[in-house]
Amino acid sequence: MSKKQSQQPEEAKHPLPTPPYQGGEKGGDGQKPQDTEVNWEDIAKRALADLDNYKKQQEKLRGELTQFMNMALLTRFLTVYDDLTRVLNSVKNKKLDPATIPADVLQCQMGMMEGIGNILKKFDEIFKSEGLERIEVNPGDKFNPETMEAISHEDHEEHKDDAVIEQFEAGLKYKNQIIKPVKVRVGK
């Protein structure tokens, strides 16, 4: 024997026994190994079912993401809507003497008010078609912190004890979920 062979440990000289599942001799328990036949058809069906479930899950997530992004965009448009509403109300509430204003300026002002009103109607149609509901409150309504955000608390003769003085911005809800609360001034 050469020196290399004599230096190998005793375990390396003897091959390891073949486990029963590899088709060798009888197993350690004295029984013949069982045939383990792979059912490829069953494996393929399970893989297809897993793929189908994955596709459904991804489609659901994609729909939820699209819905969330639509809500974010529509909420941003609501701010523009509120600004246009304030402009329209400001122009309507101005007490101008028609005798001091030229007729063409007055006609232009009336046309602008009508145009802004039409834009606001289109916004309302878009909000409704997307399933959004505007939240409106009236002066004197009780302040509700679940649907309203108080931008100020003020002393007021007519509206006291957490009553709404004025709605500053409209709110928005989707399927009973508040997306944007109503911004109001509240009496104390």
With CA atoms as reference, report the closest residue to 88 among 114, 108, 107: 114
Residue-wise pLDDT tens digits, 110-141? 888 899 999 999 988 988 888 888 888 988 89
CA distances in angstroms from 170 to 2, 56, 71, 79, 148, listed in the order given:
95, 37, 15, 9, 9
Residue 34 is predicted with a pLDDT of 56
Q: Where does 14-136 have alpha helices with state H?
A: 40-93, 103-129
Over residues 64-84, the mean pLDDT reads 82
- What is 133-188's CATH topology? Nucleotide Exchange Factor Grpe; Chain A, domain 2 (2.30.22)
Distance CA 140, CA 186 (A): 9
Residue-wise pLDDT tens digits, 38-72? 889 999 999 999 999 999 999 999 988 888 887 77
Domain regions of the chain by residue span: 58-130, 133-188
pTM above 0.85, yes or no: no
